Amino acid sequence: MNDPIKSILVVGGGTAGWMAAAALAKVLGDGCAIRLVESEEIGTVGVGEATVPHLSLFNRLLEIDEAEFVRQTQGTFKLGIQFNDWSRPGESYIHGFGTIGHDIAMQPFHQFWLKARKLGFADDIGAYSLNTLAASHGRFMTSASDAPANSPLANIAYAYHFDAGLYARYLRGYAEKRGVQRTEGKIAHTVLRPDDGFVESVVLESGERLQADLFIDCSGFRGLLIEQTLHAGYEDWTHWLPCDRALAVACEKVGPPTPYTRSTARKAGWQWRIPLQHRTGNGYVYASAHLSDDEAAASLLANLDGKALGDPRPLRFVTGRRKRSWSRNVVALGLASGFMEPLESTSIFMIQSGISRLLSLFPRRDCSQVLQDRFNRESAWEAERIRDFLILHYHVNQREGDPFWQQCREMAIPDSLRENIALFHDTGSFFRDGNEMFGLVSWVQVMLGQGIMPERYHTLVDQMPEQDLRHFMQSVRNVVESCVEAMPPHEAFIARHCAA
Ligand SMILES: Cc1cc2nc3c(=O)[nH]c(=O)nc-3n(C[C@H](O)[C@H](O)[C@H](O)COP(=O)(O)OP(=O)(O)OC[C@H]3O[C@@H](n4cnc5c(N)ncnc54)[C@H](O)[C@@H]3O)c2cc1C
């Protein structure tokens, strides 16, 4: 039991399965036999096309060539998310990645902005963010290696949009080249070791038996091993995030792809729009208690840029997290480990962080309890912090007339979120909890965008004379504007570097 892991079976070939197989093959090399089993008949969830900037770290681990990756997945670039009608109809803001302005003497830029706004000479906060301004002008480029280190162009934060099917196919090619064996087939049942209850093997409908030391459950919502076999339990968060269904449909692309994801609030949820090179992905995430499937489909189809490329595909989910994502010799990743709606494109990030957590705590054959406990504790904490950030978008709204939005406004929220809102409302302060996924700039943009305006700014800001503050605000604006002018249109950047 103290021996090293010699064989791993990845159960499932969606985004989670192939990300796990690719990363494990790269890191573990020849020392461990990796097999992936998937069923074409069952298929994958087929969505999950918007990401966050962290994915570039995963690509770096895999030593993936970015231009090739974007080309192969019909990808585009993403500078942030535009939220339309969320605080109230007609209002719009962008949650841009990266920084806003620049900080002075440990004070974040938005504190200076709050004072300038009070004095009447600040523009919208987005005017001081390269990502937000570039996104709204449809411009994009990757960081310029020849830009001065203090230029915003030297360090541009961005993510990707891609075709989920092509992404899994791309990673499959990568993993198979590094020795991962793929088995096509449907798992019929699982065999446990009688002495310790560890999974010994899975048996396919064909009768073939697949054994391994460690199992990675990437079987999607069903959680074939982690739940159906090991009954790890599920914490349901529907009372905080009441959307439980989605309809997804692609449509024809009209016009150049925007360098951002769009999220538009609707009667009982929201609609996403994800621009790719060859098509645009769309979906309506909604609460079935407030909207029928037919109404959701009609609303979705009435709000597409171009002709729908098929019928809307229904998806059902229960928001929450698996109580133990690692149990015995099974580690669940992806939808098998829990689900939060794609409002901030966090699921693929959580697969990535699950993989890196597993690699940091990589076990021997006994999968010692202390490793499992730490993995589960870290996973729970990460999910709870993201959960709070998502609830924020729903809870702080001033949309009148829709019972769904009223319910979100009036619902009790977690204490951790209530404290964050109260602190920001008082002095515009935010305290990042350890290494939580979303940092100050994200929280500030969403809190302001949703309509929370702090009553005061940080007292230290008054150390800067008003004239200097005017000059500072204007110079940040000028720098951001001139940088955006220097950036090419998003479509031109793709055509030049990574057109499919
Ligand atoms: C509406 C919606 C929108 C989303 N949008 C985003 C987004 O924009 N950004 C983001 O980061 N995430 C998003 N996600 C989440 C994202 O889609 C998933 O995290 C990602 O696709 C990973 O899915 P998966 O691989 O865990 O599961 P799946 O894609 O469901 O794959 C499960 C795999 O298990 C296999 N399998 C299951 N049972 C068996 C069996 N008995 N035998 C053999 N094989 C089996 C299946 O064949 C399949 O290969 C979204 C999710 C939903 C529901």
Cα(220) to centroid of ligand 1, in Å? Answer: 5
Is the pLDDT at 102 greater than 80? The verdict is yes
What mean pLDDT is predicted for residues 316-340? 98
pLDDT band at residue 130 under the 50/70/90 scheme: very high
Positions annotated as catalytic residues are 78
Residue 451 token pair:
């309509």
Kindly report, residue by residue over 147-169, the tens digit of the pLDDT.
998 899 999 999 999 999 999 99
Distance 3 CA to ligand 1 centre (A): 32
CB atoms within 10 A of CB 162: 28
**Cβ of 9 less than 6 Å from ligand 1:** no
User: Residue 105: what pLDDT?
Assistant: 86
- Please state at what angle helix 347-360 crosses helix 15-28, rounded to 10 degrees: 30
Instruction: Give, as one character, the DSSP assignment of residue 142.
Output: P
Residue appearing with tokens 């938005």? 110
pLDDT tens across 222-275, in order? 999 999 999 999 999 999 999 999 999 999 999 999 999 999 999 999 999 999
**Cα–Cα distance between 52 and 95 in angstroms, integer?**
11
The CA distance from 235 to 247, in Å, is: 24
Q: Is 187 in the pocket of ligand 1 (CB under 6 A)?
A: yes
Instruction: Dump pLDDT digits (tens) for 389-434.
Output: 999 999 999 999 999 999 999 999 999 999 999 999 999 999 999 8
What number does the ligand 1 atom closest to the CA of 349 have?
A: 11
**Mean pLDDT value across residues 125-131:** 98
Q: What's residue 176's pLDDT?
A: 98
Segment 467-478, tens digit of pLDDT: 999 999 999 999
Report CA(463)–ligand 1 centroid distance (Å).
52
How does residue 283 score in pLDDT terms, banded at 50, 70 and 90? very high
Position 183 scores a pLDDT of: 98
Q: Which letter does DSSP use for residue 232 in this model?
A: -
Give me the amino acid identity at 354.
G
Cβ count near 196 (within 10 Å): 12
CA dihedral 22→25→26→29, nearest 10 degrees, is -170
Any atom of ligand 1 within 6 Å of the Cβ of 152 = no
Contacts of 225 (CB under 8 A, 6+ apart): 11, 190, 199, 202, 215, 217, 219, 330, 332, 336
For residue 349, pLDDT over 80 is answered with yes
Contacts of residue 324, Cβ cutoff 8 Å, sequence gap at least 6: 226, 232, 233, 372, 376
Per-residue pLDDT reduced to its tens digit, 105-119: 889 999 999 999 999
Does 315 sit in the ligand 1 pocket, CB within 6 Å? yes
Q: Which long-range CB contacts under 8 A does 366-370 form with residues at least 24 apart?
A: 366/1, 366/2, 367/198, 367/214, 367/326, 367/328, 367/329
Task: Determine the Cα–Cα distance for residues 466 and 212; give it in Å rounded to an integer.
Answer: 67
Q: Report the residue count for the chain.
A: 500
Nearest to 277 by CA among 300, 310, 253: 253
- Tell how far the Cα of 307 is from the centroid of ligand 1, in angstroms: 26
